[in-house]
Amino acid sequence: MTVNVNELREKFEELYGKDGDCKAYFAPGRVNLIGEHTDYNGGHVFPCALTIGTYGLIRPRQDRMIRLYSMNFKDMGIIETSLDDLTPSEAAGWTNYPKGIMWTFEKRGYHLDKGMDILFYGDIPAGSGLSSSASLEVLTGLMLRDTFGFDISMVDLALIGQYSENNFNGMNCGIMDQFASAMGKKDCAIFLDTSNLHYEYAPVKLPDARIIITNSNVKHSLVSSAYNDRRNESEAALKALQTVVNIETLGDLTEEQFEQYKDAIKDPICQKRAKHAVYENQRTIHAVEALRTNDIEKFGKLINASHISLRDDYETSCEETDILAALAWEVPGVLGSRITGGGFGGCTVSIVKKESVDLFIQTLEKAYKEKTGIQAEFYVVDIGDGAHALD
């Protein structure tokens, strides 16, 4: 749907009254073109911000009460808490994400001396792997920064979001999702070295193609999934490698070096996890080079190889996303297709020639429904800017 900010304002005033001005903000979701599960392994990632995301309206209060409302969870109504009760709880549901950001601000010495009324609305499908949680975190951080006048950079807002999700929400994610939401740039992807946060914007020029996100409509909760297991397995592999080679992260290795030293990893599962991290990092570097030289065909082949590695070595895909990728590979005009996001469901991202977009959607919609009984959803997306004020 097209989001009308004035309608969000009307809802805000209906909920909280008309006293004082509320300010509106937006933070995007992201799709990662390539570089999956490399962000916590010291590798490179290549995400871009989307034009879908999360909207937020905020108005400070004169007491310490926090009132939160999401138009995506209307049945939960207004959820009230306090600046004196910033603790995670299962009962708090989705509000654990904004509360976690407030907790992190306080922890870092940014004192919140007033409560606030906040309304959220997101148009990212829940559980799709397009980073609705990171969008909500960055959005909350931006609203707090502006409301309280803190001097915090957008990169620091991304780091605050990651810290909050790691330590308040118990999700051991890397920096990519929050960084993409905070630092996105229209028509560009972010080539980010997660080992040192060095980044550059790489224009995504697809004159004859479009980016299509296909939602498998298999939802997942990464906190309770095997995501944290994968991180632990990668860390175990790194420790084994560090006994034979001087590296700080798996991202420090080339493919040749990995093959030379891999036998130091005695656990075959951990060895497969490390192989993915090393090879995926190199694929990401090569993919950006391919884009720079307008070699879209090579870019697409690297995307396909990424999915195969996520399916076989990292084992974070699932039957439904494997079906979507395999179906996509058979459609003429599809340059590449892979699962995107944390995995265990969610979406695939495909690069499709413009003349094949309708054929792609019709073919996958029909065949996926026949094979799984599930209705897929399709989004032909544009690359948008990072988090910003709407006023």
If DSSP codes are grouped into helix, strand and coil, which group holds residue 210?
strand
Cβ pair 163, 101 in contact under 8 A: no
Beta carbons of 371 and 345 less than 8 angstroms apart: no
Cβ neighbourhood burial of 376 (10 Å; 0-12, 13-18, 19+): buried
Spatial separation of the C-alpha atoms in residues 270 and 272, rounded to whole Å = 5
Beta partners for residue 214, in sequence order: 348, 378
Known catalytic membership, residue 177: yes
Question: Within a 10 A sphere around the Cβ of 338, how many other Cβ atoms?
Answer: 30
Identity of the residue numbered 229: D
Q: Which of 39, 117, 177, 313 is an active site residue?
A: 177
206-222 per-residue burial string, b: 16 or more CB within 10 A, e: under 16: beebbbbbbbbbbebeb
- Coil, strand, or helix at residue 82? strand
Rounded-to-integer distance, Cα 18 and Cα 358, Å: 46
Residues involved in catalysis: 177
